[in-house]
């Protein structure tokens, strides 16, 4: 079936609905949601039961760029500067030096294995050099696993900031393959200029977005997300037009805006989180439609070797070198960060660039990258919880909201909402609320117990399995609240 104006909305709505149902299954069984989206696209494709013929890398690239713009902006919007600041140096090292090391190791190996030029091998390495954290955190949330120390904010920052470096390497190496008379050294000035422009425009547009949204005073509240959308697309396209890195600019503008106060902040952040998910589904399904499984199978053998090198050699080497001077990261944390280097939809999108450029061997590169990404997500994605426990870097994660409330604090509010579980070994289990010695400025709002919600009083006794919604008057009080609910210490033996 060839999509037409009459059936494209019908087919698209069905694929979107099925993808959402698949994501529910993914969260339940801990399988990366990316896998389901790609499989749905492949099943709907010309070699699947859906029979939809799609073989246009130009459209796939356009949709991929639009989707990445949404995803990176939403990621920056949701990133708290307070959590990123302690890991900023490590994050930048992973997003730049780490990407460069990964691309170099994979590129040299690919050149030897595939008997292609070094530049072509480095192009393959550049395409698969960026990570995809969307699948990672869907697994961590589905298993309710948290991470010790600053591992989570480091991974979040790396995932949002390493795509620009991979994009730069991919586009420039594609150019070098098509123009062999040029040298690799000619890329260096362009790199620094594009990154500098992207950083300046991204920061400036983030401040401009905040100023505009707070002062424009639109009569219709629903137009604010539209206004922000126009500014986001302008940020990417204008930065790209003047020779800067658009992906970096979009991420930084979201980071600056998300850590500023602006009207309708909560509702717009929720809106863009939903839009990012829609774009993610569209991107994955489209890439699944673009691939022909019969063309992937012949490269499977070499794809396994490159994927193995990427997972077990290139990524760990990049992490350990990039974090060599990080004193708060021991070898167990570095090993876990190495294992979290999933390759997802971004490398597949970047693999369309050589196709569009008409490069010889581009089809082989695309199929190879697709197989490498799929192998990475299947192996690393499904084993993340096990590796986290084995390396002892995981802790019980933040509890998903069980309360049927949508409480929004003012942007300038210093109060904090806390959700806590009363575990079997909690020192608070069996105690009355009045005996908890909660710090001043904190109180229990609601308790969820056996499917029911109620407000406690001083005589209410807490039971194992209770889920508490608490309010603290300031951030400093939160730590003291957690101290009241810490586990019992094991008895000391003489």
Find the CATH number of the domain harbouring 29.
1.20.1530.20
Distance CA 205, CA 170 (A): 26
- Considering the entire predicted model, what is its pTM? 0.76
Phi-psi group of 352: left, alpha or beta (phi > 0 → left; psi -120 to 50 → alpha; rest → beta):
alpha
Say if residue 335 is in the same domain as residue 234. Answer: yes
Q: What is the pLDDT along the chain (494 residues), one digit of tens a residue?
A: 555 555 667 777 777 787 777 666 655 555 666 677 778 888 887 777 877 778 888 888 898 889 888 888 988 888 888 778 888 899 999 999 999 999 999 999 999 999 999 999 999 999 999 887 566 655 655 555 567 778 888 887 888 788 888 998 999 999 999 988 887 777 788 888 999 999 999 999 999 999 999 988 888 888 899 999 999 999 999 999 999 999 999 999 999 998 888 888 888 888 888 888 788 788 888 888 888 888 888 998 999 999 999 999 999 999 999 999 887 788 899 999 999 888 877 888 899 999 998 888 899 999 999 899 888 888 887 788 788 888 888 765 444 455 555 555 554 556 677 788 887 777 788 888 888 888 888 888 888 888 788 888 888 899 888 888 888 877 778 878 877 777 665 555 44
Helix/strand/coil for 200: helix
Say if residue 229 is in the same domain as residue 273. Answer: yes
Say if residue 19 is in the same domain as residue 71. Answer: yes
- 135: enclosing H helix or E strand: helix 133-142
- What angle (nearest 5°) sits at the alpha carbon of residue 46, between those of residues 44 and 48? 50
- 132: enclosing H helix or E strand: none
Helix/strand/coil for 452: strand
Instruction: Tell whether 237 is covered by a domain.
Output: yes
User: How far is the CA of 242 from the CAs of 36, 198, 321, in angstroms?
Assistant: 38, 10, 34
Q: Which range of residues forms the domain containing residue 94?
A: 8-396
Say if residue 390 is in the same domain as residue 436. Answer: no
Say if residue 371 is in the same domain as residue 432. Answer: no
Say if residue 203 is in the same domain as residue 287. Answer: yes
- Please tell me the total count of domains within the chain: 2
| Count, residues in the chain | 494
Say if residue 179 is in the same domain as residue 327. Answer: yes
CB atoms within 10 A of CB 238: 14
């Amino acid at each position: 079936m060839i999509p037409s104006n009459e059936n494209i909305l019908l087919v698209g709505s069905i694929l979107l609905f099925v993808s959402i149902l698949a994501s529910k299954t993914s969260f339940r069984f801990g399988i990366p949601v990316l896998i389901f989206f790609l499989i749905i696209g492949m099943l709907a494709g010309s070699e699947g039961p859906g029979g939809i013929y799609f073989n246009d890398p130009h459209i796939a690239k356009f949709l991929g760029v639009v989707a990445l713009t949404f995803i990176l902006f939403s990621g920056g919007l949701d990133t708290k500067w307070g959590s990123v600041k302690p890991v900023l140096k490590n994050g930048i090292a992973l997003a730049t030096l780490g990407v460069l090391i990964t691309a170099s190791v994979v590129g040299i190996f690919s050149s030897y294995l595939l008997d292609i030029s070094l530049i072509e091998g480095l192009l393959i390495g550049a395409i698969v050099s960026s990570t995809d954290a969307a699948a990672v955190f869907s697994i961590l949330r589905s298993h309710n696993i948290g991470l010790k120390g600053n591992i989570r904010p480091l991974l979040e920052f790396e995932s949002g900031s390493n795509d620009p470096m991979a994009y730069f390497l991919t586009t420039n190496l594609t150019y070098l393959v098509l123009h062999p008379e040029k040298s690799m050294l000619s890329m260096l000035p362009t790199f620094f200029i594009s990154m500098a422009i992207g950083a300046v425009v991204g920061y400036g547009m983030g401040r401009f977005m905040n100023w505009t949204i707070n002062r424009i005073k639109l009569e219709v509240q629903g137009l604010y997300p539209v206004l922000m959308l126009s500014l986001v697309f302008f940020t990417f396209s204008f930065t790209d037009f003047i020779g800067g890195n658009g992906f970096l600019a979009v991420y930084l503008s979201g980071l600056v805006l998300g850590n500023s106060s602006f009207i309708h902040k909560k509702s717009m952040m929720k809106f863009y989180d939903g839009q990012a998910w829609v774009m993610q589904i569209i991107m994955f399904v489209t890439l699944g439609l673009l691939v022909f499984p019969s063309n992937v199978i012949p490269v499977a053998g070499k794809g396994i070797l490159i994927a193995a090198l990427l997972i077990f050699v290139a990524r760990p080497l990049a992490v350990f070198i990039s974090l060599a001077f990080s004193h708060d990261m021991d070898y167990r944390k570095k090993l876990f960060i190495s294992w979290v280097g999933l390759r997802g939809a971004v490398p597949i999108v970047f693999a369309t660039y050589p196709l569009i450029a008409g490069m010889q061997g581009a089809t082989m590169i695309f199929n190879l990258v697709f197989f490498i990404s799929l192998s990475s997500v299947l192996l690393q994605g499904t084993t993340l919880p096990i590796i986290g426990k084995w390396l002892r870097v995981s802790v019980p994660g933040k509890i998903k909201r069980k309360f049927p409330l949508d409480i929004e604090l003012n942007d300038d509010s210093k109060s904090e909402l806390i959700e806590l579980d009363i575990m079997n070994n909690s020192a608070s289990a069996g105690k009355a609320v009045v005996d908890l010695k909660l710090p001043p400025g904190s109180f229990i709002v609601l308790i969820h117990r056996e499917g029911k919600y109620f407000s406690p009083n001083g005589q209410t006794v807490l039971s194992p399995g209770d889920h508490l919604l608490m309010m603290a008057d300031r951030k400093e009080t939160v730590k003291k609240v957690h101290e009241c609910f810490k586990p019992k210490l094991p008895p000391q033996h003489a």
